Amino acid sequence: MTTIPPRLTRLMEILLDAGSPQVVTDLANRCGVSRRTVFREIRDIDALVRPFGLTISTKVGEGVFLEGEEAGREGLRALVGGRAAARPVDADERRILLLLGLLTFGDVQKLQSYSRSFGVSGATLSHDLDHLAQRLAARGVRLVRKPGFGVGVRGDELSIRKAIYATLLAAERKKVRTQPLLGYPPPDIADGVRQLMETRFIPHLTWMTEESRQALAICLTVITDRLVALGPIAQAEGDASSPMLPIADFFADSLELMFGVDFAEPERLNLAHFLSGLRRSSHFSAQAADSAGLSRWKALAYQMIEAFDPELAPVLKLDDRLVDGLAAHLQSASVRISAHVDLNDPLADEVERAFPGITDKSARALGALGGEADQIPRSEASFLATHFGAALMRLTEHSTRRLRVAVVCGSGIGTSYLMASQLARHIGSKADLEICGLEDVEDWADFDLCVSSVDLTEEPVPVVRVNPLLTAEDVAAVTARVGQIMAQKRHDRLGDPSAGALREQCEQAARLLDDVAALLAGFAVVTVDDDCNFDQLARFAGYRFGDEEEAGRLVYEALIRREALSTQVVPTLGLVLLHARTAGVARPLFALIVPAGGLFTSPALQGSRCCVVMLAPEEAGRDTLGLLGRFSTALLEDPAFLAAVLAGDGPLVHRRVEGFARDFLSQALSF
């Protein structure tokens, strides 16, 4: 998401207050920028005001103006007023805001807009810049002043990210609110990261202090925002052997799904490197006094963990109690052996009888060690097994298996994605939501719960029947049922259910690539009369997008059957979502049907501004349905995409669809 600099706020204020079109030259003079800058920023403003039902319009020879209902103007005015009211109270706060604005805007800016927003003179800001230049230089970022043009920053992307992170961390510590004035960090990303940090269980982060959790949230927010705006970088500071990499992968995978970004390998290594730094700063070992001697034994402890269970090793290495316990025991065993002291403990046999599997694995792990550990007898395995057993118990105690919840609608490509997107905000920390059509589920035993917008002929698992447009009561019922089921299902989650899915992705890769190519090639925006009703709209879609006349009939009938299950008119989004699986198409299709006058007038279509058509072949696989579902989710969660769809902006929608498809492929084929 693009940061909103103060002069965008100033432009919006002028357009809101103006009763007539404004000449661009006058706007440039009032904001202290060039005409070219105004033209560029008007495009940005147009995207920002569309969620309020407003647009930037032009009258030839007169200028630009804000067009839309008064209610939308009031909403925008409240937003702009909130930004304008958030002036800094002192020099420290002003410098934090100025630095963050320069770092995140990414272009040369004139200082007049900051001067007005902060309520200080240009000379004061110039003095602030002298102070900030030194701070930036220490981080490898250069402050650039271009007389007549403005001020900006230059540096490599990794250095700029670090500077943004440090500035946000300073803002957090000094309680400086950056969002009201700068719109940064982007609210949707900040809220998503906060939700992830608060609601998702992440194993073995108990070492983190509140301050380090706060620092991690800021880091994740900065990385995600820069990935959305600029894409991934190639610079990597970490290495693939970092024990923090599994945790970095967890966050990267979660944020990829939430925001459709690409956490490439260098990004993951950098995140693991950051986590390692946090861990070092948060870690206080009780045996720090002997750290030089113990480090050698810690290295052996890590080696032993690798041999004990290679699959669990990345997680077990993060357990400080296990690592310290193994290291201390190995060290003391070495001392006893050198002094010819036997460790005769009557509990050893009992441990081996009670935990034979863990003891055997501990013995094999001990046997894999070399060097100084060669002299440690295998009889020590039973004592080492107590450390491993305790670590596995800790892992189990803190791990509740996530539920598998089927979210069912008639087709599995439309309504169910809208429902799942809403439910994820409430139960996403406890459950994996899987989108299904009525015919998709082969084995209900795979699921713990079903949330359905249609009646099911059989209910082999608990079912919560909901309205397609989820109500607060529906969400409460689903949340309560999830809580009841989870109370009965406390056991470990050490298995990896994703392996089978990964193999399936490999097998379906070629078909998925063909489907994506066909979907992008088949995208179209077509126009119909304003007064067509639902049946006419469905019939037009069938015969326009079906492969031939008979195929058109099949598409039409599938859309009518789908409508009989639950409405495809979504008035809260201002659109009709025609979606179905049908034998009338051989490849997936995404297209728009727009009314000639901008609004469907038929009462049945409830004032919709656009019709989205999503069709999938009857035999479509889960990946293809997931790709179409990504578009459904974006309509609900991406205001800019929804605005482009409602405006019938074909080129922009096609670019966004291409981006969604590219992100989806990078995840589906990242094996």
Residue by residue, DSSP assigns 576-601 as EEEEEEETT-SS-EEEEEEETTSS--
Quick one: how far is CA 51 from the chain centroid?
21
Separation of alpha carbons 332 and 341, rounded Å: 11
Residue (of 666, 547, 537) closest to 610 by Cα position:
537
Amino acid occupying residue 663: D
pLDDT at 666 over 80: no
Residue (of 100, 110, 84) closest to 32 by Cα position:
110
pLDDT at 285 over 70: no
pLDDT at 292 over 50: no
Query: Which residues contact residue 274 at a Cβ distance below 8 angstroms, ignoring those fewer than 6 apart?
Result: 216, 219
* CB 615, CB 582: distance < 8 Å: yes
Please state whether the predicted TM-score (pTM) of the whole model is above 0.75: no
* CB 55, CB 69: distance < 8 Å: no
Structure confidence at residue 608 (pLDDT): 92
pLDDT digits (tens, 9 = 90+) for 504-517: 444 556 677 778 88
Q: Please, which pLDDT band fits residue 340 given cuts at 50, 70 and 90?
A: low
Conformation bin of residue 607: beta by default, left when phi > 0, alpha when psi is -120 to 50: left
Q: Please, which pLDDT band fits residue 594 given cuts at 50, 70 and 90?
A: very high
Structure confidence at residue 220 (pLDDT): 94
Q: Please, which pLDDT band fits residue 522 given cuts at 50, 70 and 90?
A: confident
Partnered with residue 59 across adjacent β-strands are 63
From 381-385, 453-457, 633-637, the region with the lowest mean pLDDT: 381-385
As a whole number, the mean pLDDT across the chain is: 78
* CB 527, CB 596: distance < 8 Å: yes
Structure confidence at residue 289 (pLDDT): 33
Which two three-digit tokens encode residue 456? 């099911």
pLDDT at 350 over 70: no
- The single-letter DSSP state of residue 456 is -
Angle at 8 between CA 56 and CA 194, to 5 degrees: 105
pLDDT at 283 over 80: no
Separation of alpha carbons 587 and 624, rounded Å: 9
Structure confidence at residue 168 (pLDDT): 93
From 247-251, 393-397, 464-468, the region with the lowest mean pLDDT: 393-397
**Mean local confidence (pLDDT), 139-168:** 89
pLDDT at 294 over 60: no
**Mean local confidence (pLDDT), 329-358:** 63
pLDDT at 30 over 60: yes
**Bigger pLDDT: 456 or 465?**
465
Structure confidence at residue 592 (pLDDT): 94
Structure confidence at residue 645 (pLDDT): 92
Separation of alpha carbons 365 and 369, rounded Å: 7
**Bigger pLDDT: 175 or 377?**
175
pLDDT at 367 over 80: no
Separation of alpha carbons 67 and 47, rounded Å: 13
**Mean local confidence (pLDDT), 164-177:** 88
Quick one: how far is CA 57 from the chain centroid?
33
Query: Which residues contact residue 667 at a Cβ distance below 8 angstroms, ignoring those fewer than 6 apart?
Result: 256, 257
Structure confidence at residue 612 (pLDDT): 94
Amino acid occupying residue 433: L
Greatest CA separation found in the chain?
Answer: 99
Strand pairing class (569-570; 575-582): antiparallel
Structure confidence at residue 501 (pLDDT): 41
* CB 642, CB 584: distance < 8 Å: no
From 88-92, 149-153, 477-481, 568-572, the region with the lowest mean pLDDT: 88-92
Q: How far is CA 467 from CA 407, 560, 636, in A?
A: 12, 19, 16
Separation of alpha carbons 262 and 397, rounded Å: 33
Placement of tokens 């357990």 in the chain = 319
Helix (H, G, I), strand (E, B) or coil at 524: coil
Placement of tokens 């299950």 in the chain = 565
Q: What DSSP line would sit under 390-433, residue for residue? A: HHHHHHHHT--PPEEEEEE-SSSSSHHHHHHHHHHHHHTTTEEE
pLDDT digits (tens, 9 = 90+) for 81-122: 555 445 665 788 889 989 998 998 767 777 777 777 777 888
Q: How far is CA 145 from CA 109, 137, 138, 141, 164, in A?
A: 9, 14, 18, 13, 19
Structure confidence at residue 372 (pLDDT): 53
**Bigger pLDDT: 202 or 166?**
166
pLDDT at 284 over 50: no
Structure confidence at residue 499 (pLDDT): 37
Separation of alpha carbons 294 and 373, rounded Å: 14
Query: Which residues contact residue 280 at a Cβ distance below 8 angstroms, ignoring those fewer than 6 apart?
Result: none
Structure confidence at residue 1 (pLDDT): 38
Burial 196-235 (b: 16+ CB within 10 A, else e): bbeeeebbbbeebeeebeebbbbbbbbbbbbbbeeebbee
pLDDT at 647 over 80: yes
* CB 369, CB 297: distance < 8 Å: no
- The single-letter DSSP state of residue 288 is G
Residue (of 178, 184, 174, 172) closest to 212 by Cα position:
172
**Bigger pLDDT: 394 or 234?**
234
Structure confidence at residue 87 (pLDDT): 60
Q: Please, which pLDDT band fits residue 495 given cuts at 50, 70 and 90?
A: very low
Helix (H, G, I), strand (E, B) or coil at 182: helix
Which two three-digit tokens encode residue 429? 């920390």
**Mean local confidence (pLDDT), 560-588:** 87
Would you tell me how many other CB atoms lie within 10 Å of the CB of residue 662? Answer: 13
Which two three-digit tokens encode residue 195? 């939700």
Structure confidence at residue 86 (pLDDT): 54
Separation of alpha carbons 59 and 109, rounded Å: 28
Task: Provide the total of helices (H) and of strands (E) in the chain, helices listed first.
Answer: 27, 13
pLDDT digits (tens, 9 = 90+) for 123-133: 888 888 988 99
**Bigger pLDDT: 655 or 355?**
655
Residue (of 334, 308, 331) closest to 391 by Cα position:
308
Helix (H, G, I), strand (E, B) or coil at 551: helix
Structure confidence at residue 590 (pLDDT): 93
